[in-house]
Amino acid sequence: MPSGQPGYQVPMVKVVDSCAARPGGHVVFEGVALSRGGRPVFDGLSLTLEERRIGLIGNNGSGKSTLLRLIAGLVQPDAGQVRVGGADVARERPNTGFLFQNPDHQILFPTVGEEVAFGLTARGIDQKTADARSEALLASNGCAGWEKRAVHELSEGQKQLVCLIAVLSPDPDLLLLDEPFSSLDLPTRYDLSHRLDALDQTIIMASHDLELLADFDRVLWLEAGRVRGDGPADSVIGAYRAHVRAGLDKARSA
């Protein structure tokens, strides 16, 4: 239901019983080519992503972050097409939420309430209604009374939680996560991971923390802009680990 219509519900963190992805979270790449700084990143990439939990792995520079940005419409391909929920992201804004690695690169407003409400006002909801829904959403996630808190006074984990709540406020079908836990301590990582597990949104997550992706429905291993591995998490992660170990052993013996 569109957020501006009566009956729109504030999205709450809830336990998911089904492994089915939301139809609006289905992603299709058709012959996507992209170069940056004169260097090809993708060349004819074709993929269909429709599982509820998809992980992206690979070395730095393999194309994980760029893939996420293409899905979000933050980067446009030089050729080919990216569709989310059946719509071309070059023509229609996809119903996605994007969680960056560093919350300081994402937060726009000085207070928590303003940050969370922005995702609603950007969808056409009036300020009074957005503020009320922001307050309810914060309370449902254990952050009651945070509306007036200054963002710069929060810990890194608290900032990342606020960013997660903010991107969930307009109820996106698809959540894109780019190394969301890299700067967090272990308890905070476990807490946020549990919250993500409970969401019914489709999630595509890029991460170097392979354990986080172990229970995902599908994992893609990217290498130099190409899909080196694609399948169940255990087999793809196992192949990637073996590849990395073999490379290290070769370098040591050289």
User: What are the helix (H) ranges across the chain?
Assistant: 64-72, 112-121, 127-140, 156-168, 186-197, 233-253
- Given this model, what pLDDT does residue 14 score? 34
Distance CA 194, CA 27 (A): 24
Predicted confidence (pLDDT) at residue 71 exceeds the cutoff of 50: yes
- Given this model, what pLDDT does residue 3 score? 36
| CA angle, 212 then 247 then 40, to 5° | 75
C-alpha gyration radius of the chain: 19
- Given this model, what pLDDT does residue 7 score? 37
Which residues lie closer than 8 Å to 24 by C-beta, 6 or more apart?
84, 85, 95, 173, 174
Which residues lie closer than 8 Å to 161 by C-beta, 6 or more apart?
141, 143, 191, 192, 195
Over residues 213-222, the pLDDT tens digits come to 999 999 999 9
pLDDT band at 240 (very low <50, low <70, confident <90, very high): very high
- Given this model, what pLDDT does residue 19 score? 52
Over residues 8-38, the pLDDT tens digits come to 333 333 333 345 567 788 999 999 999 998 8
Distance CA 228, CA 240 (A): 9
- Given this model, what pLDDT does residue 130 score? 93
Look at 79-93, 117-131, 149-163, 175-189 and tell me which has the smallest mean pLDDT: 175-189
CA 193 to chain CA centroid, Å, is: 12
**Across-strand partners of 212?**
none
